[in-house]
Structure 1
Amino acid sequence: MTIERTIRQPQAVVFDGVPLAPLVRAVLDECRRLGSRQEVSALLAEAVQRGVSLPELFAELDAGSSRGTAIPREALHRIADGARSAAEVDAMRVWRMSGLPEPRWNHELRDENGEYIATADGYFAAVALAWEIDSYDFHFGKQHYAATVARNARYAAAGIVVLQTLPSRLRTEPKRVAAELVAAYRAATARSGAA
C-alpha cells in the first residue's frame, strides 16, 4: 500500500465496508507511479474497456496534480483516437513512423450485401488494406485459430489485403514493422490501382 498526501480527497466508495478511492482516481494514481508506457497504456485501455469513460479520466487527470501525468495523458489521447488495447496504442505509434495516411481504427467492415467481414484494427480504405495486431493470446488454440483463418478468408473474399503483426514486434522492431506496413500499403495500392 502506498500512502500519499493530497489536497483533493476523493469521495470514498465503500466496498464490503472498506472505503476506497473511486476507480477513475485509483487508476490514474497508479498510472502516475508507473514508468512504463506499455503498463500505463494497458491499465488505461483495460479501465476504458470495463466502462470508465474517457471524459471522466481526462477530467480527473486535469483536476489532479500534474506530477507524473505526461505518459498517462499521451496514452489517453491514443485511446481517444481509437485504440482499444495497449497493443493498439503501440500500433498507432508505429503507424506515425510510417508516414502513411491515417487508417480507420477498429473499423467494422461489411460486404456489399451488408454481411460482416471483420473489425480491422487499422483499415486503409483507399487501398483496401487491413492491419491486424494478432497476439498469441487471442489467436492461439483451435477455436481462436479457426476464427482467425475464417476472418482472413472473409477478407480475401472481399478483396481486402491483410497485414498481420504480432504485438511484441510493435515494441521490439518498430522500424521494421513500419517498413512492412509501408510495403503492404504500396502492394495494396498497386493491386487496387489507387494513386
Structure 2
Amino acid sequence: MNHDTPLSPLPLRHLFDARCRVLTSRRLREHGVATAEITERCRPGGPWQQLLPGVHLLHPGPPTEEERLHAVLLYAAQRGPTVPSQAGPAPETPEAMITGLAALALHGFSAAPPLSSLDRIEVLVGRTRRLRSTGFALIVRAQEMPVPEEVRGVLTAPVPRALADAVGRLTDASAVRRLLTEAVRGGHCEAAAVVRELTRARLLTRPHVVDAVDTLLAEGRALAEQRLYAMVHTHGLPDPLWNVDLRLPGGPHLGGVDAFWPEHAVALEIDTRASRPEEDPLRSPYDRKREHLERLGITVVRCAPRTLREAPEQQAAVIRTALMAATDREPSAYVVVLPR
C-alpha cells in the first residue's frame, strides 16, 4: 500500500459546514475520493448529486439557498485558463462574488425576489476568466472587480454594482424604480454612487431606467435635506435661512443654496452631483457658483449626502468652524436673499 495515498473519505464532514455540504471535485480528490467514486455517488438515486460542473452536493435532497450560493461561487472560482493579458499579472482580487438580484436579496432588499425563487444566480468574475453560464450559475463579467462585502458568509458585490447588474436584465419599469428607490431610502448607498454604476454599465440610454433615476435623485435629495435639518438641530447650530436664492442688489442671480447664515456670510449646499471621476470638477456649475460666492466673501460649505448619513457630527463640526471663522474675515459683499 502506498502510504502517500490519502485515506478513504470517511471523515469528509470536517471539510464543510454542517449547513452547507458543497465541495468541488478537486477538493474531493485531494481527500482520497477517486473520480470514478464521485461519478458513482452522483448517479440518480445516489447519496450525492452534481449541482454544477465540478461542484457536488454531498446529500441527496434539494440544495438550500446557502448551498446554491456557495455552489455558484465554487463553480466560478475554480481555477481555469484566463485570456492572456499584455498588461502583466493582475493584482490579487477575489475570483468571484454574487451580484444582481441575488446580491440585493442578501443585502436585505424587500423589493428583490427571495433567493429561493431565483432560477439563476448571477456571479461576477473578471473579464479574462474563461467561464460559461450553466445551470443556475449566470456569469457576469467585470472590467474591474469591485471590493466585495461579506453578507451571511457569502462574498457579495456592493449595492451599487449589484443594482447595475440587476437593472441591466430587468425590463419592468416599476421593478427598476422600486429597487433604486429602496437603495437610497433604505440607507444602502447614495444616489450618486448608483448613477455612476448605471452610467458605467451604459444603462442611462434606456427610458425606463432614466425615469427611475429621476425618482432616485429626487428621493436622495429629499433624504439629504431631512438629515441636514436634523443635524443642525441635534448639534445645536444656529438656525439658517433654508432653501434661498442669492442675488447682488440690482445685479445678477448668484444661485440657490440649501442653507444660508447671513450674519456669518456662510452658505451651505448639498452636493448630490453624480459626475464621473474623470470629469473636471472645476467646470461644473456647482464649482463656478462656489468660486463666485467666495470672491464676494461668502464661505461655501460643501455637504455630501454620505457624510450627512454616516458622520453628521463631522459635518456639524465643519459648519461650526466656518461660522466661528466669520469674525476673522473681511465683511462680505451685501447680497439679497430670496425664497427659492
Sort the TM-score into its range (normalised by shorter chain): 0.5 to 0.7
Q: Distance in 2 between matches of 1:157 and 1:132?
A: 17
Matches within 5 A, 1:57-76: none
> Per the alignment, do residues 191 and 117 of structure 1 end up closer, same or farther by CA in structure 2, a change over 3 Å counting?
same
Matches within 5 A, 1:163-178: 163-178=301-316
Instruction: Report if the CA contact (8 A) 2:282-2:288 is conserved.
Output: no
Which of 175, 186, 190 does residue 324 from structure 2 map onto? 186
The question of whether the paired residues in 2 share the 8 Å contact of 1:38 and 1:86 is answered with no
Task: Give the gaps of 5 or more residues in structure 2.
Answer: 1-184, 192-214, 332-340
> What displacement does 1:157 show?
2.4
**Where do residues 76-95 of structure 1 align in structure 2 (5 Å cutoff)?**
85-95=222-232
> Structure 2 vs 1, CA of residues 156 and 188 (structure 1 numbering), >3 Å: closer, same or farther?
same
Tell me the equivalent position of 1:113: 250
Structure with greater contact order relative to length (CA < 8 Å, sep ≥ 6): 1
Decide whether the 8 Å contact of 2:261 with 2:267 is kept in 1.
Answer: yes
Output one character per residue of 1:48-75: Cα deviation in whole Å (capped at 9) or x when no partner: x7xxxxxxxxxxxxxxxxxxxxxxxxxx
1:147 equivalent among 285, 303, 307:
285
Detail structure 1 runs of 4+ shifted over 6 Å in the superposition.
none
Q: CA RMSD in A?
A: 4.0
Query: 2:284 and 2:245 mapped to 1: Cα distance?
Result: 20
Q: 1:159 aligns with which of 284, 297, 304?
A: 297
Q: Per-residue deviation at 1:38?
A: 5.5
Gapped regions of structure 1 (runs ≥ 5): 1-35, 50-83
Using the TM superposition, give the Cα deviation of residue 136 of structure 1 relative to its aligned residue in structure 2, in angstroms. Answer: 3.6
**Percent sequence identity over matched residues?**
28
Structure 1 partner of 2:235: 98
In structure 1, give the amino acid aligned to 2:253: Y
Larger Cα Rg: Structure 1 or Structure 2?
Answer: 2
CA distance in 1, matches of 2:276, 2:291: 15
* TM-score normalized by the length of structure 1: 0.53
> Could you tell me which amino acid in structure 1 is paired with residue 247 of structure 2?
R
Q: One-letter code of the match for 1:86?
A: L
Which stretch of structure 1 is more off in the superposition, 181-190 or 125-134? 181-190
Return the offset for 1:112: 2.5
TM-score (normalizing by structure 2): 0.32
| CA contact 2:281–2:287 (8 Å) conserved in 1 | no
Write the distance in 1 (CA, Å) between the matches of 2:231 and 2:252. 31
